[in-house]
A and B are shown apart, each in its own frame.
Chain A
Amino acid sequence: MAKIYSKKTLVIPTMKPKKEVVSFLLNYSKALSIMKGNKMSFEIIAN
C-alpha cells in the first residue's frame, strides 16, 4: 500500500473583518458625498 506522507494542511481561518463592518463601509460610501467649495469642503451623508 502506498503511504501518504503529506499531511493534511491545517485549516487556517482567514482573518477577515466582520461582515457588518464591510457592509457599514459600503453603505457609508454610498451615502457620503463630498462637495468642494472655495477652500472648504463639505461632507454630506444621505440617510
Chain B
Amino acid sequence: MANVQLPDSLLVHNYIEGDENALTILINRHQSKIFGFIYSKISDRDISNDIFQDTFIKVIKTLKSNSYNEEGKFLPWVMRIAHNLIIDHFRKNKKMPMFRETEEFSIFSIMSDDSPTIENKIIREQVDTDLRKLIEELPADQKEVLVMRMYQDMSFKEISEITGVSINTALGRMRYALMNMRKVIDKHQIILTN
C-alpha cells in the first residue's frame, strides 16, 4: 500500500516517464470524486460514463504529449477538463435535445403514429362495404348521380352532360339519394363511423 501515499505530482511524473501503473493509481484514487462531480451535473449514468471517459482521454493525451503544466494540482486540473466537457455536452444537447425514456416520461406520450391500425383498417373496409350495399338499394337515377359525384369525382355540370338532364335535376337526384340513404341508415340503425 506504499503507492497510496505517493503524491499526485509524483505519480503524474512517473506516468509521463512511462509508468502505466501510476495512471491506474491516479484513476482509482480520484474516480469517485470526478465521476460524482460529473453525475451531479448530468444525472445520467451512461452519459456521465462517457464524459468521464472523454475527460481521461484528454488527460492521457495531454500527459503523453508532455503538454501538462505542472504548476497546477492534478485533481483540479482534471475537474476543469470534466467541467468543460460537461458544458460542451449541454451546448450540444441544447442544439439537439435527447430524450430518454424514464418512469415519469415516455417519449410515446408526445409521439403518436397516425397511420391506421389493423382494427381501424378492418372497420374502414366494413364501412365501405356497408355503404356500397346502401348505394345499391337506391333507385337507378339517384345511384347513377351519386356514384358519378362521389366515386368518380365528377362535377354536376359533367354529370348533367353525361346523363342528359339539367344540372338542377342532377342536384335534386343527389339530394334525394342522400336523403334516402339517411332514412335507411336511421331505420336500420347502421353505424357508419370509424
Contacts and interface: CB of A to CB of B under 8 A. Distances in A.
Interface string A28-47: 11101110100001010000
Interface in A4-47: 14-18, 21-22, 24-26, 28-30, 32-34, 36, 41, 43
A28 to B, nearest CB: 7
A15 B20 contact: no
B31 interface: yes
A17 to B, nearest CB: 5
B129 interface: no
Contact of A15 (B28, B39, B57, B66): B39
Given A21-B52, A24-B53, A34-B65, A29 B35 contact: no
B39 to A, nearest CB: 5
A26 B57 CA distance: 10
A18 B53 CA distance: 10
Interface residues of B, number: 21
Contacts of A32: 60-61, 64
B60 A25 contact: yes
B126 interface: no
Which label, helix, strand, loop or mixed, suits the secondary structure of the B interface? helix
Contacts of B32: 14-16
Contacts of A21: 49, 52-53
A43 B36 CA distance: 30
B31 A16 contact: yes
A26 B20 contact: yes
Contacts of B53: 17, 21, 24-25
B142 interface: no
Interface string B24-58: 10011001100110010000000011001100110
A25 B57 contact: yes
A14 B56 CA distance: 19
Interface of B: 20, 23-24, 27-28, 31-32, 35-36, 39, 48-49, 52-53, 56-57, 60-61, 64-66
Q: Closest 3 interchain pairs by CB? A: A15-B36, A34-B65, A17-B52
